[in-house]
Amino acid sequence: MAKSKRVHVAVGVIQNPDGAVFISRRHAHLHQGDKWEFPGGKVEANEDVFQALCRELHEECNIAVQQASPLTAISFDYPDKQVLLDVWMVTGFSGDVRQKEGQEWVWVPVHQLDAYQFPAANVAIIECLQDCLRRNP
């Protein structure tokens, strides 16, 4: 059987002035359901990753991204799905951050992210964020 194509996903890390980041809980019926995630979603055929990031963060958490920079890219194989998470730090946006799709959400200080259960691919994202924090406290 042919292997399915890797899904390209735009993921945004939104940080508030206190240094906490915005996470929400995936709906139970979805892939990696009930786990916590950073907002984002699949890059559509007609978009580049920055356009996808802007669209997803507007749809999911109500903001207009004005500035973002690439943080890391994680290629990860789940047993049922292969993903490429293209992770961006959102450095400028307008609008009040809130979850528009009925997901539970919370602001969490980076050093407390370990207390939440994320999909396995996110371990590398969280290490990267905690590394940044250690280098620029």
The footprint of ligand 8GT (CB under 6 A) covers 7, 9, 11, 30-32, 37-38, 40-42, 56, 81, 83, 85, 119, 121-122
Say if residue 122 carries a ligand binding annotation. yes
In this structure, which amino acid lies at residue 116? Y
Q: Please answer whether residues 55 and 82 qualify as being in contact, where contact means their C-beta atoms are separated by less than 8 angstroms.
A: no
Minimum distance from residue 30 beta carbon to Mg ion (Å): 8
Ranked by CB distance to Mg ion, the top (closest) residue is 41
- The count of residues interacting with Mg ion (CB under 5 A) is 1
Chain position carrying tokens 């004005």: 66
Paired tokens of 9: 């996903």
In the complex, which residues of this chain contact Mg ion (CB under 5 A)?
41
Binding residues for 8-oxo-dGTP: 26, 31, 37-40, 122
